[in-house]
A and B are shown apart, each in its own frame.
Chain A
């Protein structure tokens, strides 16, 4: 059991616990905090996979900005304790089995396709190992994917406008 494996299992368990915490928490703020935990764990996993830039982006944007926004809104709206009622019939009899089925199915598919192949094993990738450095990533973004990049900037603009309009008092 190498260090990588240990780290993986630790972070994996933390992530799963965070997700379960999201489900089981009674207050929305607790759910948000669990989600933050999940994101941090995932950031560590990205680091383990060698995507440093992505890990940084994850912490900065996702955990640092988006989740903060969520908590702002929760507190602004004074979301109270979630009332616990019985699950609806559709959810109980269709949703749970389906979700579990989904899970199992995905896992099965993945295992069937990739077995226990480790990264960089023989027969895996054919290209030369590429370091996922920031420099290399930005080269990709600004040459091959420049159009989507520009479009996302427009998308952000639209999102800002939308949020502004929607949040006005007298719409």
Chain B
């Protein structure tokens, strides 16, 4: 019961590493910094393993969450927030992703960041991020979750602008923070409204109260729907969905391990985690669930289209992340929470692997990130090629790889689940086709074909073992990670869904209640759906093969043929320019002319200065009373005496 009683260890270990490295690491040799900053996440992972063991063997995977309340943080009347951590099945899954992938990425960074300045600062900020992320995942109330939420936003900002002397990096950090802030505003209002409705912010009380509330309908939107929509706003910002996704591609300015950890595996999934955690509220607000699903589905397709035309290897992966997050949102929106979390886990494996491999490629190419300047790297960096190929197969949904099972489940539930919606299903299928297409495009452009760079200037070399080992581990996970969720129709036990069942039991039952006309789909349907999904992925692969391997000139002719469309995709639908003109420029105008000139200089400074001027003016007049002229003194004395006499004679009654 060691870890179960001391859950705070999982948070405190990365925090200790962060503080130690930050305060003392400046003058330490690299080996010592490695020990302090990578050692702690490794310790955290070991604690996690122990936690899993205790969870299974001591608690036997209980039906209710295990909550430990350490101290009361704030109390104000009815409003009570404790520092309470909870562990249930969902937490176990999320913590596994965070600690395992985090540990691997820390190990990878030892090699990747070896030649960078500010080595210790990087690791201090990464550890701080781990601390906040574990807080977010283990929190037992909304306010503590929000602390973690804001903390990961802060660390994301710090790490994106790690190379802060570069203007584009500093701007990207600001953009990320401000864009997610917009969502966080909605999140805060949502928390306040939740407190107003439930008179508590901790999950146990909220869900118990919600269980007695009648579900709302599509036509009648009440408080629950509003709360869910507001929380959704926060998730949209943090998980980079439409319309607040614009920060994620710019966030690629940060070092590649940062992109891997924060913007692929963990921080951006916080939104999905939050929706899954709030599933009792969401399942009672069908309008909000539909909003989640629509946002997810549309984003999935939209980002995939942009990914087709990008040339920077990391930007392709960024749009891919946005697209895959859309799938997770889609899953949660149709009620398939377990499928969404499953996809979150597999995505962490293969997207983290993809980013780390991209980092390996960039490291090999000496800093080059443009795919059109690469090519033919297959024989030169074989390990990177092999692991990246595994990851690409996983994300495209090749059979038996991890992504296959998770994406399949999402599409199946979108087509045939209780909350099914054919349009959303079509969005998902189209996205799957495009995913396979642009991912294999990336592979072919980077590794196949003839080298499109000067081989004498760029010395392509394989990455060191410290970078390759995490790649191999993640590749293995990308293959086997899906097997223990093998659904029943493939001969497995559907273990993952069963494992997570206690967390989502209420929602699943409620969904059946709300859709009494739904029947179980016929048995053969699952095989048909799987076949369709695989066929679609294959079509995508073949398109990419044709355009980039078999007839390379066809790509250029296609781009020239549909030039306006290509331009639209290349410029990312001009969304950044649109936001700039519609939102940012008016805002800056208002800030400069109204808030600054009018209110700050005119009103506030004017009032203060005006008081000073008034004081000076009055003083300037009053000083004549004591001008050094004795006779005027005498006159004033007489005036005073007369005034006093008048007062006493006439006023005092």
Contacts and interface: CB of A to CB of B under 8 A. Distances in A.
A touches B in complex, CB < 8 A: yes
Contact of B638 (A99, A105, A109): A99
Contacts, number: 26
A90 B635 contact: yes
Interface string A90-113: 110011001101100110010000
Interface string B626-642: 00000110010011011
A131 B150 CA distance: 95
A153 interface: no
A5 to B, nearest CB: 28
A153 B641 CA distance: 29
Interface residues of B, number: 10
21 contacts: A88-B631, A88-B632, A90-B631, A90-B632, A90-B635, A94-B635, A95-B635, A95-B638, A98-B638, A98-B639, A98-B642, A99-B638, A101-B642, A102-B638, A102-B641, A102-B642, A102-B645, A105-B642, A105-B646, A105-B649, A109-B649
B299 to A, nearest CB: 83
Contact of B639 (A88, A94, A106): A94
DSSP class of A's interface residues: helix, strand, loop or mixed? helix
Interface in B613-653: 631-632, 635, 638-639, 641-642, 645-646, 649
Nearest to A88: B631
B122 to A, nearest CB: 79
Interface in B139-166: none
A168 B346 CA distance: 106
Contact of B645 (A95, A99, A105): A105
Given A105-B649, A109-B649, A91 B642 contact: no
A109 B646 CA distance: 10
B175 to A, nearest CB: 70
Contacts of A94: 635, 639
A40 B646 CA distance: 32
Interface string A67-88: 0000000000000000000001
B645 to A, nearest CB: 7
Closest 4 CB pairs of A and B: A109-B649, A90-B635, A102-B642, A98-B642
Nearest to B639: A98
Contacts of A90: 631-632, 635
Contacts of A101: 642
B644 to A, nearest CB: 11
A95 B633 CA distance: 12
A163 to B, nearest CB: 22
Contacts of B639: 94, 98
B551 to A, nearest CB: 106
Interface in B100-156: none
A131 B522 CA distance: 133
Nearest to A101: B642
